[in-house]
Amino acid sequence: MKDNKQNTAVLLMHCPDQPGIIAVITEFINANGGNILYLDQYVDKINGIFYMRVEWDLDNFGIPSEKISDYFETLYANRYGMNFKISFTKKRQRMAIFVSKMSHCLYDILARYVAGEWDVEIPLIISNHPDMKVVAEQFNIPYEIIPVNKDNKVEMEAIEFDLLDKYNIDFIVLARYMQVLSEDFIKRYPNRIINIHHSFLPAFVGAKPYHAAYDRGVKLIGATSHYVTTELDAGPIIEQDIVRITHKDTIDDLVKKGRDLEKIVLSRAVEKHIQRKILTYRNKTVVFS
Amino acid sequence: MKDNKQNTAVLLMHCPDQPGIIAVITEFINANGGNILYLDQYVDKINGIFYMRVEWDLDNFGIPSEKISDYFETLYANRYGMNFKISFTKKRQRMAIFVSKMSHCLYDILARYVAGEWDVEIPLIISNHPDMKVVAEQFNIPYEIIPVNKDNKVEMEAIEFDLLDKYNIDFIVLARYMQVLSEDFIKRYPNRIINIHHSFLPAFVGAKPYHAAYDRGVKLIGATSHYVTTELDAGPIIEQDIVRITHKDTIDDLVKKGRDLEKIVLSRAVEKHIQRKILTYRNKTVVFS
Amino acid sequence: MKDNKQNTAVLLMHCPDQPGIIAVITEFINANGGNILYLDQYVDKINGIFYMRVEWDLDNFGIPSEKISDYFETLYANRYGMNFKISFTKKRQRMAIFVSKMSHCLYDILARYVAGEWDVEIPLIISNHPDMKVVAEQFNIPYEIIPVNKDNKVEMEAIEFDLLDKYNIDFIVLARYMQVLSEDFIKRYPNRIINIHHSFLPAFVGAKPYHAAYDRGVKLIGATSHYVTTELDAGPIIEQDIVRITHKDTIDDLVKKGRDLEKIVLSRAVEKHIQRKILTYRNKTVVFS
Amino acid sequence: MKDNKQNTAVLLMHCPDQPGIIAVITEFINANGGNILYLDQYVDKINGIFYMRVEWDLDNFGIPSEKISDYFETLYANRYGMNFKISFTKKRQRMAIFVSKMSHCLYDILARYVAGEWDVEIPLIISNHPDMKVVAEQFNIPYEIIPVNKDNKVEMEAIEFDLLDKYNIDFIVLARYMQVLSEDFIKRYPNRIINIHHSFLPAFVGAKPYHAAYDRGVKLIGATSHYVTTELDAGPIIEQDIVRITHKDTIDDLVKKGRDLEKIVLSRAVEKHIQRKILTYRNKTVVFS
């Protein structure tokens, strides 16, 4: 809801590592009147891959926004074998929240949203339960109840696809959403569905990780935000954190301590996604600072 | 090497929870002239088990040390179904270190030892390699090379048992020791062999956890100290900690960052063991503060 | 808003350390039919002070609730020089929030409140600004604007005292409230006003700690929750935490990272207070687990 | 002691921010046959300063090492107002340790040294006490006792200067060295003396920070490594970390927990210095990853 006065372009790219790429790209931006506001790059020496994020001011940039991608592809991307995406901060991204019955992640996201912390629109909340409708109403956001389950998944997801299209949703945040998405769903939004799992993955994949953590007697519990892929809890990890527990903590204590972790770890990942600071490659993420 | 001037008894116990146990035990100590220096207790409400650690000054205690366990068993342990152990801080415990080729945990332990941080004796280091002999010599500690491998384990461990007996070893610390102990070995030292595993267990059990962590793209790496049981990396966890990593960290970086974790996490566990502050039950630990 | 079905008594006490106190108190509870649900104690050996928190089930307790304090004082407190307080979980405490213009701590508290995480009532929000009225309305909580400043403090606080009395407020949470309370105000609520300061105290006392942290070039920023005393930012510390920063972080980044710290650190302190797990002594806190 | 096979140049620089600097410098390296192994840069937008670290392989670099600085200054540094330093990893830096009576930091450094973790030489240990001579002897490093105090500082430091010159010392690590260096000493080694202070600065400047932390009742203790400047404990901070404590911890416990912090925080700073990854500006550090 922040009034985004910036007018910048963000280039996210990776390509086989080779000398001179930074020079070529910064020269392209500078020569056309762009003022670089952010540049971070990383070279994966083991796999020989170069990753970069550059953001520049468009106010005096000589190439019209709608032609930048085209020019960049012709002039550089083809030549260097780049995989790239250029986006524009003038266009605010649109995010849908999927939620089931728990409110802590939902409130954390909506509180940041109305405080203007994030440059994003949240026009839609979808749930398989009516419980969180009261929260959506507090924030005046449409809340659609789609009672999806194992047996009606195809039909229910069809309704969800219509809603996501109708609201022009760019990416989806699963804020403790307790239904598994179909492969079809996941493939429509590659690297655009962010989930929070309540363990330090890869430990305790699947259901009831706090129970499993309690049974194993660990001294730390964690939370992991990741992009959803078709393999359960196995997508590219964006962010993780932990909190210390002791033998005194019951499963209820783990659930309570975990809630604070979950909401913070999920919101950190959502923020990085909104800022277009995440690149994925080979089921891993590059998260720029 | 600290000159331990304290003359105290430590009672570690657990039993079915029932009203009045604290009162009974503190009354036993007070009535016999013992001054309680430490008392911590914990009730596992789910399983209905009461755990306690009490330490008291023996200077004016009316019951001779050698009879305390006997009296306690007759008067209380049988009545309340207690599982208990009374030990005496006057008797310094004797610890053996097993090490392979890496020095970081070994140095961390020996530096604490000669600085007098721990009330323990370290009369013996055993290794399957000659590499760390130079370190043992720096600290004037006997270093026995037992080239154990999968094929000669029975004979080599027999030699180790003799050494452990000869040096009156109470407990063993595996300071990045890269051989799996036999079931026979483990059963001789129940809850008396402490290992350090270089991951946040139960993630990345087994060999090469840093490689596995790198491949999975986690954002945290960890280390876990635990008592050794016959199932690999599955014994009761004593202590865990993590450190944050990023996409920039190579496997070598993980190994480097992990070393600092490993040595600190192992030493914290060893210290708690020396202080007799660990109780185990159902493959989990109660670690008193 | 949780329906609190428990009917327990909580004893918080401290007194000069001496043998047998635990035995005496647990015997008192057991003998009168109370079932102890929680017992934690701590001895400050340096100052010779014994601290304890005991909670027991009142369902079969032989002494009527309204007489317990009286009996306990006569039978034990006088004899052992105890400073004690007995409270009853049946009576839900009533908390007022003071807030200025920032919403992050307020939302964090209210989200926990409506989710039933805390056994507390929040019947009143007071602010020196109208900005947060919209949040109070979302949660249907009375919001009183008292435009206090340095010049009108006496009159404005008189209005606040009336409100606090009218709503039977037990304790106050300053959720980033930007006015200094008068000495008179603070003395009315000893150890019952909880503040959040956005630094790891005692570093960066006073205004604009993030600016000061930025100027000093620290690599960590922190937040501290504490009871308010008449000396600014110098009251007993309840909880602290930190987050890592780098040279890349601007003051705005510190403010943003700090918000997540502030809300979590404040809520942890509020929860401990609600659970009656904090004892203060000599400007320090004992926080039971 | 690692055999450093790399032959690289490291450029550390800062200058007023302006478009095209990265392009210019990477072009300079690429055009002369250098293969860039590391590039990280940072722009301080508030003060308008550009910082960069570049490291490149010298094997096929066309300009002889001894002429690179000269060329770079003429061609670029003057033009862009750069403050820069080019160093060569072929030349192993030489580090002196100053220590008083405590061994934990000393052992931590020497253990890393003999394990080959660091590309550094440690030819000299200086102390104002004889206590640590035994440790120096374990590692076969010359140990010079210079009994400096407030009254003989000028003469004693003169001896130290001779020793530092004789051993060609590049930088100094104060590993819990309990004497204040003179202004003259500090000015000879600007940004080349690394100290460890046992608090999270700027809290608890000066003597006995653990006592001060205990008295204030903090819930965290910290350690800070920084470059020494003429104002006590006020130099540019390189690294900080904390550990959680509770009311149960005595001053002795703080000292014990603090030791692990101190050694890790100091060693992290020393490693960054050895890797030439620290730039200082306006009493703050830029620490590259």
Q: What is the DSSP string of chain B?
A: -------EEEEEEEEE--TTHHHHHHHHHHHTT-EEEEEEEEEETTTTEEEEEEEEE-TT-SS-HHHHHHHHIIIIIHHHT-EEEEEETTS-EEEEEEE-S--HHHHHHHHHHHTT-SSEEEEEEEESSSTTHHHHHHTT--EEE----TTTHHHHHHHHHHHHHHTT--EEEESS--SPPPHHHHHHSTT-EEEEESSSTTTT-SS-HHHHHHHHT-SEEEEEEEE--SSTT-S-EEEEEEEE--TT--HHHHHHHHHHHHHHHHHHHHHHHHTT-EEEETTEEEE--
* Nearest residue to A59 via CA among A39, A88, A86, A85: A88
Backbone angles phi, psi at A241, to 5 degrees: -155, 165
Residue bearing tokens 């540049």: A39
pLDDT (average), residues C139-155: 97
Neighbours of D31 (CB within 10 A): 12
Which residues touch A143 (CB under 8 Å, ≥6 apart)? A125, A126, A127, A132, A133, A136, A137
pLDDT band of residue B23 (cuts 50, 70, 90) is: confident
Task: Look at residue B19 and tell me whether its pLDDT is greater than 80.
Answer: no
Helices and strands (H, E) in chain A, number of each type: 9, 13
Residues in chain C, overall count: 289
pLDDT band of residue C18 (cuts 50, 70, 90) is: confident
**Average of per-residue pLDDT values in chain A:** 95
Active-site residue (options: B233, B241, B249, B253): B233
Q: What is the pLDDT of residues D134-182, one digit of tens each?
A: 999 999 999 999 999 999 999 999 999 999 999 999 999 999 999 999 9
Looking at CATH, the fold of the domain delimited by C8-88 is given as Alpha-Beta Plaits (3.30.70)
Task: Look at residue C20 and tell me whether its pLDDT is greater than 80.
Answer: no
Task: Look at residue C2 and tell me whether its pLDDT is greater than 60.
Answer: no
pLDDT band of residue B24 (cuts 50, 70, 90) is: confident
Q: What is the largest CA-CA distance in chain C?
A: 64
A223-232, B37-46, C276-285: which has the minimum mean pLDDT? B37-46
The answer to whether B189 and B230 are in contact (CB under 8 A) is: no
pLDDT band of residue A159 (cuts 50, 70, 90) is: very high
* Nearest residue to B16 via CA among B48, B54, B52: B48
Task: Look at residue D14 and tell me whether its pLDDT is greater than 80.
Answer: yes
Question: What is the DSSP secondary-structure string of A214-265?
Answer: HHHT-SEEEEEEEE--SSTT-S-EEEEEEEE--TT--HHHHHHHHHHHHHHH
Q: D217 in contact with C at a CB cutoff of 8 Å?
A: yes
pLDDT band of residue C5 (cuts 50, 70, 90) is: low
Which residues of C are less than 8 Å from B39 in CB distance? 22, 41
Nearest to D103 among B104, B115, B256 (CB): B115
Task: Look at residue B3 and tell me whether its pLDDT is greater than 80.
Answer: no
Percent of chain A at pLDDT above 90?
A: 89
pLDDT band of residue A143 (cuts 50, 70, 90) is: very high
Neighbours of B2 (CB within 10 A): 12
**Average of per-residue pLDDT values in chain C:** 95
Domain residue limits, chain C? 8-88, 93-287
Q: D104 in contact with B at a CB cutoff of 8 Å?
A: yes
Q: What is the pLDDT of residue A5?
A: 62
Which residues touch D248 (CB under 8 Å, ≥6 apart)? B289, C42
Q: What is the pLDDT of residue A3?
A: 45
Which residues of B are less than 8 Å from A217 in CB distance? 236-237, 283-285
The answer to whether B163 and B144 are in contact (CB under 8 A) is: yes
Q: D114 in contact with B at a CB cutoff of 8 Å?
A: yes
User: Would the CB atoms of B240 and A222 count as touching at under 8 Å?
Assistant: no
Q: What is the pLDDT of residues B74-83, one digit of tens each?
A: 999 999 999 9
Kindly provide the b/e burial profile for residues D189-214, where b requires at least 16 CB atoms within 10 angstroms of the residue's own CB. Answer: bebbbbbbbbbbbbbbeeeebbebbb
Task: Look at residue D26 and tell me whether its pLDDT is greater than 90.
Answer: no
Strand partners, D144: D126
Vertex A140: Cα angle to A135 and A143 (nearest 5): 65
Q: What is the spatial distance between Cα C192 and Cα D30, in angstroms, rounded to a whole number? A: 66
pTM: 0.96
Q: What is the pLDDT of residue B5?
A: 62
**Average of per-residue pLDDT values in chain D:** 95
Q: What is the pLDDT of residues B118-177, one digit of tens each?
A: 999 999 999 999 999 999 999 999 999 999 999 999 999 999 999 999 999 999 999 999
User: Would the CB atoms of D23 and A19 count as touching at under 8 Å?
Assistant: no
Residue bearing tokens 């450190």: B243
Q: C76 in contact with A at a CB cutoff of 8 Å?
A: no
Active-site residue (options: D233, D241, D249, D252): D233
Percent of chain C at pLDDT above 90?
A: 89
* Nearest residue to D52 via CA among D94, D90, D20, D30: D20
Q: What is the pLDDT of residues C195-253, one digit of tens each?
A: 999 999 999 999 999 999 999 999 999 999 999 999 999 999 999 999 999 999 999 99
Percent of chain A at pLDDT above 70?
A: 98
| Single-letter amino acid code for the residue at C270 | V
* Domain D93-287 part of CATH 3.40.50.170: yes
- Peptide bond just before B190 cis, omega within 30 deg: no
Which residues of D are less than 8 Å from B264 in CB distance? 260, 264
Q: D161 in contact with B at a CB cutoff of 8 Å?
A: no
Is residue A233 annotated as part of the catalytic site, yes or no? Answer: yes
pLDDT band of residue B18 (cuts 50, 70, 90) is: confident
For C261, the 3-state DSSP assignment is helix
Q: What is the largest CA-CA distance in chain B?
A: 64
Rg (C-alpha) for chain D, rounded Å, is 21
- Nearest-neighbour CA in chain B from C241: distance (Å): 16
Q: What is the pLDDT of residues A245-261, one digit of tens each?
A: 999 999 999 999 999 99
Which residues touch D194 (CB under 8 Å, ≥6 apart)? D171, D172, D173, D174, D225, D226, D227, D228, D238, D266, D269, D270, D273
A241-255, B254-268, D17-31: which has the minimum mean pLDDT? D17-31
Angstrom distances, CA of residue B2 to CA of B114, D42, D249 = 9, 50, 21
Q: Which residue has the higher pLDDT, B4 or A99?
A: A99
Total beta-carbon pairs less than 8 A apart between chain A and chain D: 31
Helices and strands (H, E) in chain C, number of each type: 9, 13
Instruction: Show which of residues 30-69 on chain C sit within 8 Å of chain B, judged by CB atoms.
Output: 30, 35-37, 39, 41, 45
